[in-house]
Amino acid sequence: MSNTYLDDLFGFTGQTAVVIGGNGTLGAEIARGLARAGANVVVAGRELSRCEGVVAELRGGSRVIAAAIDVTEHATIAALLAASLREFGRVDALVNCAGANSATPYFDVSDEEWDRILAINLRATHWGCQVFGRHMVERGGGAILNIASVSAETPLSRVFAYSASKAGVLSLTRNLGREWAKAGVRVNALCPGFFPAEQNRAILDETRVADILRHTPMGRFGRPEELVGMALLLLSPRAGSFITGGTFYVDGGFTAMTI
Ligand SMILES: NC(=O)c1ccc[n+]([C@@H]2O[C@H](COP(=O)([O-])OP(=O)(O)OC[C@H]3O[C@@H](n4cnc5c(N)ncnc54)[C@H](O)[C@@H]3O)[C@@H](O)[C@H]2O)c1
């Protein structure tokens, strides 16, 4: 049964969304949600075949394409904007959802590891905002969603470079939300709690799983589809029109937990 009110409020028909990291666990689910809500979607990721796999699932009402990208190479992000404009003429929404993690004891964190995590999580988010944000500011509209983490503001054991990078993502998000507010470009951050995915598989040993579940009031991991409603709200030009520079949690209560 169709619901015109909800379509008007949350629909993306005629809009174009680019999801960087759209072949990942959370990014693919957000890309699926955007396509189901009517957006044309560019699924961009490091492995083209995996992006094409996501695209194959999404063939339906909207147009969806795959694009290869390495977020540590600025030129590939610029090429992604160019390819998106060639295909769809404009970009209304960007999701920065590539990410990498590591769980090294603090005294053992090498410069190489620190730089790699910061490059993928923070510098690439900055490049995505800079490249796509310029297009949106010139057009006079758009929305960017940066995927941060509960670890951005809450100290979390073992993931030092990751947490520092995500804190940087929140700072960048607030600054750009302020900077572009009058240009019609909104920038927000979504902080997921814990969702089993590739980048955290190696970290989720038995002890850590028990610790996480004990500290999550809902007592379970999140399911990727549970992020989609918040992502659509924050990217929506109507439902989200007065929301910018904000940080939004989808974490089963993790950040509300003390003892
Ligand atoms: N899963 C969680 O519990 C959780 C919690 C908080 C935040 N996050 C964040 O959500 C985002 C998505 O992660 P996920 O959990 O879906 O993990 P994932 O491993 O499934 O996805 C990560 C994505 O990043 C991409 N990526 C990594 N390095 C890249 C590079 N150099 N170039 C292009 N793409 C690259 C991977 O290809 C993959 O698509 C990340 O920013 C992550 O930090 C995840």
Q: Ligand 1, closest atom to CA 47? A: 37
Per-residue pLDDT at 229: 98
How many whole angstroms from 149 Cα to the centroid of ligand 1? Answer: 11
Report whether pLDDT(29) > 90. Answer: yes
Q: Which residues are known to be catalytic? A: 162
Report whether pLDDT(2) > 80. Answer: no
Give the residue whose CA is nearest to atom 39 of ligand 1.
Answer: 24
Query: pLDDT tens digit string along 154-193?
Result: 999 989 999 999 999 999 999 999 999 999 999 999 999 9
Q: Please state, in angstroms and as integers, the Cα–Cα distance from residue 239 to each residue in 113, 124, 127, 231, 233, following that order.
A: 39, 27, 27, 11, 6
Q: Is the CB of 240 under 6 A from ligand 1?
A: no
The domain made up of 4-250 has a fold known as Rossmann fold (3.40.50)
Torsion angle of the four alpha carbons 146, 150, 152, 157, in this order, in degrees rounded to the nearest 10: -140
Give the residue whose CA is nearest to atom 43 of ligand 1.
Answer: 99
Q: Please state, in angstroms and as integers, the Cα–Cα distance from residue 64 to each residue in 41, 106, 176, following that order.
A: 5, 42, 28
Question: How many other C-beta atoms can be found within 10 angstroms of the C-beta atom of residue 183?
Answer: 15
Which of 19, 23, 25, 80 has most ligand 1 atoms within 8 Å of CB, for mutation? 25
Task: Locate the domains of the chain by residue range.
Answer: 4-250
Q: Which residues neighbour 202 within 8 Å (Cβ) at sequence distance 6 or greater? A: 103
Segment (H or E) for 84: helix 74-88
Q: Is the CB of 99 under 6 A from ligand 1?
A: yes
**Dihedral sign of CA atoms 52, 57, 63, 64 in order:** negative
Query: pLDDT tens digit string along 191-220?
Result: 999 999 988 888 899 999 999 999 999 999
Query: pLDDT tens digit string along 219-246?
Result: 999 999 999 999 999 999 999 999 999 9
Percent of the chain with pLDDT over 70: 98
Confidence of residue 3 (pLDDT cuts 50, 70, 90): confident
How many whole angstroms from 24 Cα to the centroid of ligand 1? Answer: 6
Q: Ligand 1, closest atom to CA 70? A: 32
Per-residue pLDDT at 200: 86
- Do β-strands 64-68 and 40-45 pair in parallel, antiparallel, or remain unpaired? parallel
Per-residue pLDDT at 119: 98
Query: pLDDT tens digit string along 104-121?
Result: 999 999 999 999 999 999
Greater pLDDT, 49 or 2? 49
How many whole angstroms from 98 Cα to the centroid of ligand 1? Answer: 4
Residue 118, class by beta-carbon neighbours within 10 Å (0-12 exposed, 13-18 middle, 19+ buried)? middle
Q: Ligand 1, closest atom to CA 195? A: 3
